[in-house]
Amino acid sequence: MEGVVVVTGGTGGVGRTVVRELARAGRTVLYTHRDGRPPLDLSAEPAAVRARVSGAPVDLTDPEGVQRLFDEAAARFGAVAGLVHLAGAFLAGRAVETGAGHWRHLWQANVDSAFLAARAALPHMLRLGRGRIVLVAARAALQPRAGLAAYGVAKGAVARLAAELAEETRGTGVTVNCLAPGAIDTEANRAARPGADRRLWVSPLAVARVILWLLSEEAAVVNGALLPLEGPEGALGPQREGEG
């Protein structure tokens, strides 16, 4: 499939695996990282895989910077075939404990970034009559839970944004879908929750495989879906995560 897949949050716990799996599957990937942060280390990958991956610095809450990223990606790669929006932020807290800064941070990192990235990607996709957008919300978007007020509201808005965009793109060749994972088996979660029962956690590899499928031709008929993801994973499970 021609064109580039832009992966935001490509340096995150899930993003690293998603970028690698997309490139292994033959996709051309442009991942975003923040200025000053180290880029992805793909030195263990074959040269052909590494050659399909490049990075670009951007603050996803900066409207002009995000617009420039997608305009330059379209010019450089010929088309923006996909947007996988993994960038986001998490902070726990009940509403009464949530300061204005905490609220704003989660809203900007999760909702503003998704809106700005999708808004910048869509015109390039609509012009070509094809494209795939995958936003990432969370289980908290579907299910209120005391202690996740700002996060749950922000992820609920991300899911709603995907639904609105799916209506706007219906019949255009562009699809917009949204993932709602429960806990993901990342290094950060393992460190933060050492005693947790990980059987229901979903591996980054499983998330990557669902994303690959949503980006594929086979998923052209899937638009406006909100997909909960959770373990256990059976044969595709975390035991395969060590492969790379």
Ligand X SMILES: NC(=O)c1ccc[n+]([C@@H]2O[C@H](COP(=O)([O-])OP(=O)(O)OC[C@H]3O[C@@H](n4cnc5c(N)ncnc54)[C@H](OP(=O)(O)O)[C@@H]3O)[C@@H](O)[C@H]2O)c1
Residues that bind ligand X (CB under 6 A): 9, 11-15, 32, 34, 37, 59-61, 86-90, 109, 113, 136, 138, 181, 183-184, 186, 188-189
Q: Which residue is nearest to ligand X (CB)?
A: 12
- Which residue's structure tokens are 């060749």? 173
Classify 124 in phi/psi space as left (phi over 0), alpha (psi -120 to 50) or beta: alpha
Query: Rounded to whole angstroms, how far apart are CA atoms 45 and 109?
Result: 30
DSSP string, 93-117: B-GGG--HHHHHHHIIIIIIHHHHH
User: What are the DSSP E strand ranges found in the chain?
Assistant: 4-8, 28-33, 53-57, 80-85, 131-136, 174-181, 226-229
Please say if 151 is a catalytic residue: yes
Classify 9 in phi/psi space as left (phi over 0), alpha (psi -120 to 50) or beta: left
Q: 173 or 232: whose CB is closer to ligand X?
A: 232
Q: 120 or 130: whose CB is closer to ligand X?
A: 120
Rounded to a whole number, what is the distance in angstroms from the first to the last CA of the chain?
24
- The distance of closest approach from Cβ of residue 121 to ligand X in the complex, given in angstroms and rounded to an integer, is 15
Q: 130 or 201: whose CB is closer to ligand X?
A: 201
Residues forming a β-bridge with 8: 85
- The distance of closest approach from Cβ of residue 66 to ligand X in the complex, given in angstroms and rounded to an integer, is 9
- The distance of closest approach from Cβ of residue 16 to ligand X in the complex, given in angstroms and rounded to an integer, is 8
- Would you mind telling me the total number of residues written for the chain in this entry? 244
Helix axes 113-128, 149-169, angle to 10 degrees: 10
Q: Which two structure tokens, joined as six digits, stand for 73?
A: 């990606």
Q: Which two structure tokens, joined as six digits, stand for 228?
A: 């909960």
Residue of 31, 70, 115, 151 marked catalytic: 151
Q: 13 or 93: whose CB is closer to ligand X?
A: 13
Q: 24 or 198: whose CB is closer to ligand X?
A: 198
- The distance of closest approach from Cβ of residue 17 to ligand X in the complex, given in angstroms and rounded to an integer, is 9
Output DSSP code: residue 141: G
Query: Rounded to whole angstroms, how far apart are CA atoms 32 and 48?
Result: 20
- The distance of closest approach from Cβ of residue 111 to ligand X in the complex, given in angstroms and rounded to an integer, is 11
Active site amino acids: 151
